[in-house]
Amino acid sequence: MIFIDLKLFVTLSKYLPENPEAFEVARGTRIEKLMEDLGIPGNSVKLIFVNGKREGRDYCLQDRDRVGLFPPVGGG
């Protein structure tokens, strides 16, 4: 098992687990699986940042990664 620091922004915050600063996931977990495990619908996430760098859903999480998920943002 590994630990990540998880941040979910705006409308995604309702999916935030307990203890997101040290959230435990299995080694080899990809972002897509993390979203699935948290119950986040795939179309609810527009941007994924890991350690300040934009990543895709296929990124394999590493111990102590800082993960931020952002929803689509509208405006006008």
Residue 15 neighbours by CB under 8 Å, 6+ apart: 8, 38, 39, 40
Q: Determine, yes or no, domain membership for 76.
A: no
Q: What is residue 74's predicted lDDT score, i.e. its pLDDT?
A: 62
Q: Determine, yes or no, domain membership for 75.
A: no
**Which residues constitute the domain of residue 23?**
2-70
Residue 9 phi/psi, 5-degree rounding, is -105, 155
Q: Could you give the number of structural domains in the chain?
A: 1
The angle subtended at Cα 61 by Cα 54 and Cα 51, nearest 5°, is 40
The one-character DSSP state at 33 is H
Q: What is residue 73's predicted lDDT score, i.e. its pLDDT?
A: 79
Q: Determine, yes or no, domain membership for 10.
A: yes
Q: What is residue 5's predicted lDDT score, i.e. its pLDDT?
A: 98
Q: What is the mean pLDDT of each run of 10 residues along the chain (76 residues)?
A: 97 95 97 97 95 98 98 73
CATH number, domain of 59, equals 3.10.20.30
